[in-house]
């Protein structure tokens, strides 16, 4: 037996710190980090003022940084092995693209809000798969929002960081996402899911039973049109609201449609708006039921609601894929499963699975082998605990 320990993988914080030192030839003063997320239930309802139940995963983006005297920003990305620079005063939507649009968008959004923003030198590293449906984009936005808050001496609560990050993504990057990903990256608490009301921005932290684990399975397939399809769904929802508002002026968002009104209202909507609406209204109700089930320890009920959510996203919202459907079906047959559904925007990406802790190995063995047999590709898997939202610390050497 060998006595040499296998080399421990460095954490994103360690990588960001070492990268900063290598690129800028001095030590960074500060570190920030923000996690990726999975959403247990509440798919595509955040931008409809609905309720969602996400949690932060223990994968993250880390930023090592030092304030500058001017309003210039230099950022080195360890993942892209590239340094980008910009002046905060020169930023406007479309002026930068690629990975740097996220940090630049955040600096721009803070300035747009009328707040002073100072420059910084930074190195960024991370272990959230890019484009994998775990919201690496919200994590990089929130980690940089916290960094700019720090160097600019701003007093902004975490939720405000989330809102500024969302504004960066909507108006600077050009993706019409809701607030869920950024709010999770900013506000999540360890061991808990976050019941977020996207209308009021009220948050309730719901403890997750320790007897179950969260498993993320990535299909390994991304659809190119994800962002444009996402924006299209959002427009369809807006169109449904404006048609329903013409029938009943109390309807100002799909959140304001009561489940008992749904059937009679659907005849005012042409396809696919009727299906989109049925998904959103049903999904918001499922989140309420699921949060109650979690709080009263009715795990099986919670799992059923997750499967129902997946069916609705597949059939009515049409954001699933063959591989995601396959992963959910295989999970349903696997030992230890409680519930599974696609998570994130869909169109490829990942599923989230709730699994009895004691059966985790059996579960993983069954699903990954069967997936490989059926689709000839590997499902990337990871088991996560519910992690903490954004943090900032001074570097101690
Ligand atoms: C993406 C968006 C979120 C949310 C989900 C779907 O992750 O960024 O705001 O709309 O899709 O639930």
pLDDT digits (tens, 9 = 90+) for 132-152: 789 999 999 999 999 999 999
Q: Which atom of ligand 1 is nearest to the CA of 169?
A: 8
Q: Which atom of ligand 1 is nearest to the CA of 39?
A: 12
Stretch 299-313: mean pLDDT = 98
pLDDT of residue 7: 73
pLDDT of residue 4: 57
pLDDT of residue 102: 98
* Residue ranges of the chain assigned to CATH 3.30.70.890: 209-384
Q: Whose CA is nearest to atom 1 of ligand 1?
A: 345
pLDDT of residue 80: 96
Q: Which atom of ligand 1 is nearest to the CA of 180?
A: 9
* Structure confidence at residue 131 as a pLDDT band (50, 70, 90): confident
Q: Mention every residue, 6+ apart, whose C-beta is less than 8 A from residue 196.
A: 46, 51, 52, 53, 54, 179, 180, 183, 184, 202, 203
pTM: 0.95
Residue 220: pLDDT over 80: yes
pLDDT of residue 186: 98
* Residue ranges of the chain assigned to CATH 3.30.230.10: 12-36+57-188+387-394
Ligand 1 within 6 A of 135 CB? yes
Q: Whose CA is nearest to atom 11 of ligand 1?
A: 345
Q: Whose CA is nearest to atom 9 of ligand 1?
A: 178
CATH superfamily of 209-384: GHMP kinase, C-terminal domain (3.30.70.890)
What are the contacts of 238-241 at 24+ separation with CB within 8 A? 239/273, 240/269, 240/273, 240/276, 240/277
For residues 171 and 179, give the distance between their C-alpha atoms in angstroms, rounded to a whole number.
13
Q: In terms of Cα–Cα distance, which of 118, 119, 98, 125 is closest to 33?
A: 125
Question: Which tens digits make up the pLDDT trace of 6-52?
Answer: 678 899 999 999 999 999 999 999 999 999 999 999 999 999 999 99
Ligand 1 within 6 A of 183 CB? no
Compute the distance from residue 368 Cα to the ligand 1 centre, in Å. 26
Percent of the chain at pLDDT above 90?
Answer: 90
Catalytic entry in 49, 121, 181, 316: 181
pLDDT of residue 194: 98
Catalytic annotation on 181? Answer: yes
Question: Which tens digits make up the pLDDT trace of 162-218?
Answer: 999 999 999 999 988 999 999 999 999 999 999 999 999 999 999 999 899 999 999
pLDDT of residue 5: 62
For residues 218 and 380, give the distance between their C-alpha atoms in angstroms, rounded to a whole number.
5
- CATH topology for 12-36+57-188+387-394 is Ribosomal Protein S5; domain 2 (3.30.230)
Instruction: Give me the phi and psi of 53, to 5 degrees please.
Output: -135, 70
Q: Mention every residue, 6+ apart, whose C-beta is less than 8 A from residue 346.
A: 43, 44, 133, 313, 317, 319, 320, 321, 324
What does the block give as tokens for 376?
A: 């000839």
What 3-state DSSP class applies to 189?
Answer: coil
Stretch 228-252: mean pLDDT = 96
pLDDT of residue 6: 64
Ligand 1 within 6 A of 323 CB? no
């Amino acid at each position: 037996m060998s006595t040499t320990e296998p080399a421990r993988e460095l954490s994103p914080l360690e990588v960001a710190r070492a990268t900063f030192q290598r690129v800028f030839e001095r030590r960074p003063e500060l570190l920030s980090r923000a996690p990726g997320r999975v959403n247990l239930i509440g798919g595509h309802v955040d931008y409809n003022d609905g309720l969602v139940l996400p949690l932060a995963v223990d994968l993250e983006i880390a930023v090592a940084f030092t304030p500058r005297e001017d309003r210039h920003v230099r950022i080195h990305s360890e993942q892209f092995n590239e340094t980008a620079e910009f002046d905060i005063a020169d930023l406007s939507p479309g002026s930068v693209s690629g990975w740097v649009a996220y940090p630049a968008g955040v600096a721009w959004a803070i300035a747009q809000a009328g707040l002073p923003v100072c420059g910084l030198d930074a190195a960024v590293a991370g272990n959230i798969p890019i484009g994998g449906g775990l919201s690496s984009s919200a994590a990089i936005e929130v980690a940089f929002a916290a960094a700019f808050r720090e160097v600019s001496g701003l007093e902004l609560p975490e939720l405000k960081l989330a809102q500024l990050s969302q504004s960066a993504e909507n108006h600077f990057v050009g993706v019409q996402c809701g607030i869920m990903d950024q709010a999770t990256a900013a506000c999540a608490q360890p061991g808990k899911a976050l019941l977020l009301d996207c209308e009021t921005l009220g948050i309730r932290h719901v403890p997750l039973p320790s007897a179950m684990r969260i498993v993320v399975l990535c299909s390994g397939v991304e659809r190119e049109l994800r962002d444009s399809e996402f924006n299209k769904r959002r427009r369809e929802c807006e169109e449904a609201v404006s048609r329903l508002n013409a029938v009943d002026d109390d309807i100002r968002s799909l959140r304001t449609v009561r489940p008992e009104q749904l059937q009679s209202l659907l005849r005012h909507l042409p396809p696919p708006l009727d299906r989109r609406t049925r998904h959103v209204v049903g999904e918001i109700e499922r989140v309420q039921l699921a949060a109650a089930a979690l709080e009263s320890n009715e795990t099986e009920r919670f799992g059923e609601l997750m499967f129902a959510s997946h069916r609705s996203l597949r059939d009515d919202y049409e954001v699933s894929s063959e591989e995601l459907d396959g992963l959910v079906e295989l999970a349903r047959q696997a030992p230890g499963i409680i519930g599974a559904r696609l998570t994130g925007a869909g169109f490829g990406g990942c599923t989230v699975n709730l699994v009895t802790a004691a059966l985790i190995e059996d579960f993983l063995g069954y699903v990954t082998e069967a997936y490989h047999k059926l689709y000839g590709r590997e499902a990337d898997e990871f088991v996560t605990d519910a992690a903490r939202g954004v943090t900032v610390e001074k570097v101690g050497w």
